[in-house]
Amino acid sequence: MSLISSSTVPPKTNYDVFLSFRGSDTRINFTSHLYAALRRSHITTFVDDTRLERGEEISPNLLKAIEESKMSIVIFSKYYASSRWCLTELVHIIECMKSIKRMVLPIFYHVDPTDVRNQTGIFADGFLKVKERCGDVEMIERWISVLKEAANLSGWDSNNYRSESELCEAVVKQILNKLYPAYYSACSNLCGIDSHINKLLSFLSLGSKDVRFIGIWGMGGIGKTTIAEVLLSRISDQFDDCCFESNIREKSEKDKPVHLRKCLFSKLLQNENLSMEMYHVIPTFVLDMLRRKKVFIVLDDVNDFEQLEALAGNHDWFGPGSRVIVTSRDKEVLNNGVDDIYEVKGLKDSDSFQLLSMKAFKQKHPPKDFIELSVRVVKYAKGVPLALKVLGSHLCKRSQKEWESALDKLKQFPDSKIQKILEVSYDMLEQNEKDIFLDIACFFKGQDKDWVEDILNGGGAASMGINRLKDKCLVVIDKNKLEMHDLIQEMGQDIARRTDSQLWNSTNIYDTLITEMMKEAVEGIFLDMSKIGKDTNIDAIFETSQTKELQFLPNKLRLLHWEDYPYKSLPSNFFMENLVELNMKGSKVEQLWNGNKCPQRLKWLVLSESKHLKSLPDLSSASNLEEIILSSCKNLIDIPTSIQCLHKLVALDLHGCEKLRTLPKLAQLESLRFLCLVECSNLQMLLEVPRGIEILELEGCGLEEWSQDHRFFSNLEFLSIQQCKNLRSLPSIYLNSIEKLSLRYCSSLNKLPGITGNNIKELDLSYTAIEELPSTNERLSSLYELDVEGCKRLENLSVNICLLKSLGRLNLSGCSKLSKLPDLHGLCYLRQLFLNNCNKLEGLPKLPSQLEVLEASNCRLLKTAVSCIRPIEPGQLRGAAFKFNFVNCLNLDQNARSNIMGDAELRIKEIAICMVKELQLFYLDFDLALPGSETPEWFSFQTPGSSLNVDQLFPSNFISTLLDFAFCIVVEYQGPAVTLKEYSHFYLLVTCKCCLKTTKGNRQATITHYIYHGWPPFESDHVYLWYNHPETRDLSGWLRQNRDSVYEASFQFEAKCVHGGNVKLKRCGVHLLSAGNESRSQATDVNFMWKSLQSVRDSLHSRLTVIYEEEEQPPTRLKQLPRFYKLHGYR
């Protein structure tokens, strides 16, 4: 049934992309990956992820979704044509393509496009079945027709891509190009832009692989930013990643250059967790990742060379072909850091004429009667685009007489700067619009639009005024933030200086406050006392120099933002009836006011870092208060009970109020969502908090008990109780919305309550005094990570732990009384197990077969260990770093050592084969460390000492099947002793210099590998064995290509302790991983490789216990932590 109307007007689009797929084929693999990639790129995608595809009729809503999508992506898979549902979808998709011009792009997922076109091959099986069930000849013919049409469309064949991620990336990139072409409509009215872009393209030399820095230089308002934006939009598809960093000058006033660098690199590398704290040091892994990318960066409005140096200090930071554009008003900044400078000059008269006409008359040319007037405006603006846009917008729909008047006014400033041209726009505003404009220019640029409307005390009137300013090109609203061009802001601030209606500058405030006659005209003060000059005579503000008190503040004040306020209280005659925000961060105030005040309009109260504040006044009349920020008020003793009257209060921040001893009951505050009591070290008891609380931070507070019934916290999204060292007990915890619960370092907590939370994914109980784990394991069905590190009283691990079916990471390190582990084999998703420093542990039980990391260093009584490795099946390997650490496990018996080494041999061979099949999808490595003085018997080449020479390698037919190299060393630690206080881990850097000699020439390579584990260093000889594919794949590939001419190889090993200790290499070994003595064609056949690998398994069968089990997909990992409230006090 078609929902397309007969009208030629296509339906409104609600989606960018509609995904058509066969659920049983691709839902949990490729389709889910593609859908995630589309969402990451902010492409609105319709995916019917609830359909069963069992019925015969397709939902009308689904057909409607197809019509309302800009394009459809059809994923043809093996059994796509076996679904009548899918075929009906496809018919409608093709109909929409023809009738309403919707785009269609096919993906041929493991099927040949020809088979789809002709319904042959593996694609034919499913289609034959649906044909037999259908019986409608006409419908079948229609299906055949649309399959042929769709298969003839340009799309993607999955067989042409090495990995699904690469295919998803290609699809998303193409979709973005089709949905959002480079020449977007917003650029259509940019007069004269093409000449700038063409000149810049010649500067950029895009065909060159050199890294080039280009400066765009010109005065404010001349169009530098616009040119850079358009350039980015037109060539962004030629780069791996692009980033536009705007307003560098303004951001540098608020943040240090190293913070700006972190923000830029985080965007380029799509990693928000980069650690970059030092200006002169950049982590090598960050530079390494950047150098692999061809990036396009725009650094907008740079006014200091330090900014450029921090963000793009050197050409070799970025990959070949990268380009960096820097816009600046200061040519000297660019001279020191770019390859070429492009000067942006004013628009040509013809372009200026067109731009003015578009703004004033909404057409390319002015009406005949306005030509002369337009010429005069263009002549006055002198090619500055911003001036033309503002003047044109303000003269729009004005009469000739009004044009004449405006031009006459311009004559008063023939040689003025651009700011005075812009003031003409201000003069044309209504009085209330002027007030709003000046407020934004002085206080609110970059602030949230809704918050500003509240401050401006007018609701609808303020909103209308802001919209008028937007229409006049005086204000831009970007992501609900109020933005303003620098020139316009400077013009507004210049007007404010002359009228004294807004006080934000130290000198203005000083001059105005001593003129009492002006006080009632002031409606806003924004002052940072740290910026007042040392010579300023502050005493002149007082009535008498003896009082040392502020004598007045204007009663019309709506905003008082006075950082480092130097007085003990507010003036007694300041009634605050108009005040909306009071922000006195870092003040010396001891008491806000005396007597009864009525701040009914007050919404935000910020007194953070006011170290002399001991108490708050009666707040019962401040019924509109939404946020109270009192962080780091170190002498605050109590909170008044009148806070219980603040029914609109959303956030209460008492972080670092060290002397706070009690809190009134907060249960009546039904709007409270955020409560922070971090480091309230004297707060011993927490009474009831509201049921609607969402974020509760108690970290490091002095809480001893918390008796509230937690069952009512249905909205709680984030709870932090860690480092509450006095906390002795907790009630039963019902946390159905929380994903992470941390009780870390609650060192007095010796017993846990029942913990229930189906969404909890991380539970951290480390360094508590618990003696046993809670018994409600079955109620933690989503728990992925359990950390009980350092729980020195924990003696037993209950068998109930196997009820944690989703557990993927278990940390028991430092549980020094733990002597026995239960059978953990039932934890089928467990990937990482940490047992370091479990000093009484004597044996390892049957462990999960898919374990990837086992850390058991310094388990000195550990004697037994069984094999725990499950064979990898083709296609099941995912990215992993396999690590098995038995450092200082000196009591391991021979059976345990044999099992460990046998596991290592099998796993390394499997990884090497998988790397051929998975075709570099993942970079896998393997590490093993255990006590011993001999290299494994199965290593191809081994010798005493640190160097290995091989005069005769294997025959060429063996090398032709070479997969990779594995390495092994035996190390003796020779000191000196280093204390734990100096280092928490032992680091060993191993390098292997390889030289392969052939009759055609030599190949040299240096392979590096880091080895690290817990403290202390090894106490006897230890064997280290590793395989690292990224480091060796080029070498093994070269060796295969030159197999007939290689005649000698040498390997020189070196080891160095990072902390400065000494080590001696006693033995070394190299192992050639090969598919076997078969032909090269067989070596490239993956099925053969797996059969070859089976022989390795069989040979190890007598000493390996290999466990075979069916696996499900691993559970979903922890999502991003819930948002915190954006507190206005932290602006």
CATH number at residue 253: 3.40.50.300
Structural domain includes residue 937: yes
Q: What is the CATH number of the domain that holds 791?
A: 3.80.10.10
Counting the structural domains of the chain, the total is 6
Same domain flag for 328 and 439: no
Smallest CA-to-CA distance from 708 within 723, 722, 693 is with: 693
Between CA 49 and CA 15 the distance in angstroms is 15
> Which string of b and e fits 492-516 if b means at least 16 CB within 10 Å?
bbebbbeebbbbbbbebbbebbeee
Top-confidence range, 187-191, 702-706, 1126-1130: 702-706
Same domain flag for 109 and 144: yes
Q: What is the CATH number of the domain that holds 1001?
A: 2.60.120
Residue 874: strand pairing partners = none
Sorted by sequence, the CB contacts under 8 Å of residue 962 that are 6+ apart come out as 1036, 1039, 1040, 1043, 1072, 1073, 1074
pLDDT of residue 484: 79
Residues 1074/1077/1079/1082 CA torsion (nearest 10 deg): -60
- Place 605 in a pLDDT band, splitting at 50, 70 and 90: very high
> What single letter denotes the amino acid at residue 143?
W
Q: What is the CATH number of the domain that holds 117?
A: 3.40.50.10140
> What single letter denotes the amino acid at residue 937?
E
Same domain flag for 1067 and 922: yes
Cα-only R_g, the chain: 36
Tell me the pairing of strands 762-764 and 785-787: parallel
pLDDT greater at residue 218 or residue 118: 118
Same domain flag for 122 and 22: yes
Residues 238 and 206 sit within 8 Å (Cβ to Cβ): yes
- Place 1088 in a pLDDT band, splitting at 50, 70 and 90: very low
Q: What is the mean pLDDT of residues 367-387?
A: 83
Total residues belonging to the chain: 1131
Same domain flag for 424 and 469: yes
Same domain flag for 169 and 276: no
Same domain flag for 317 and 225: yes
pLDDT of residue 1106: 36
Q: Evaluate if residue 887 carries a pLDDT over 80.
A: yes
Q: Is 89 a catalytic residue?
A: yes
The domain boundary residue, chosen from 465, 484, 505: 505
Smallest CA-to-CA distance from 774 within 725, 813, 735 is with: 735
Q: What is the CATH number of the domain that holds 427?
A: 1.10.10
Between CA 213 and CA 209 the distance in angstroms is 13
pLDDT of residue 473: 60
Catalytic residue (choose from 89, 423, 609, 699): 89
The domain boundary residue, chosen from 151, 179, 207: 179
Start-end of H helices in 180-304? 193-204, 224-235, 248-254, 257-269, 284-291
Structural domain includes residue 654: no
Domain that residue 355 falls in: 349-412
pLDDT greater at residue 444 or residue 757: 444
The domain boundary residue, chosen from 486, 505, 524: 505
- Place 136 in a pLDDT band, splitting at 50, 70 and 90: confident
Tens-digit pLDDT profile for residues 726-776 = 988 877 767 777 888 889 999 998 887 777 777 888 999 999 999 888 765
- Place 188 in a pLDDT band, splitting at 50, 70 and 90: low
Same domain flag for 222 and 158: no
Structural domain includes residue 270: yes
Same domain flag for 230 and 370: no
Between CA 144 and CA 119 the distance in angstroms is 8
Residues 242 and 235 sit within 8 Å (Cβ to Cβ): no
Same domain flag for 826 and 973: no
Burial of residue 775, with CB atoms counted within 10 A of its CB: 0-12 exposed, 13-18 middle, 19 or more buried: middle
Sorted by sequence, the CB contacts under 8 Å of residue 855 that are 6+ apart come out as 813, 833, 834, 835, 836, 883, 885, 1013, 1014
Residues 558 and 457 sit within 8 Å (Cβ to Cβ): yes
**pTM: predicted TM-score of the whole model, two decimal places:** 0.58
Same domain flag for 952 and 989: yes
Structural domain includes residue 920: yes
Structural domain includes residue 812: yes
Q: Evaluate if residue 293 carries a pLDDT over 90.
A: no
Between CA 648 and CA 583 the distance in angstroms is 19
Structural domain includes residue 870: no
Structural domain includes residue 1126: no
Same domain flag for 407 and 424: no
Q: Evaluate if residue 942 carries a pLDDT over 70.
A: yes
**Tokens, residue 89:** 């979808």
pLDDT of residue 160: 86
Tens-digit pLDDT profile for residues 673-693 = 999 999 999 988 877 788 888
Q: Evaluate if residue 152 carries a pLDDT over 60.
A: yes
Angle, in degrees to the nearest 10, between helices 122-134 and 137-151? 150
Structural domain includes residue 986: yes
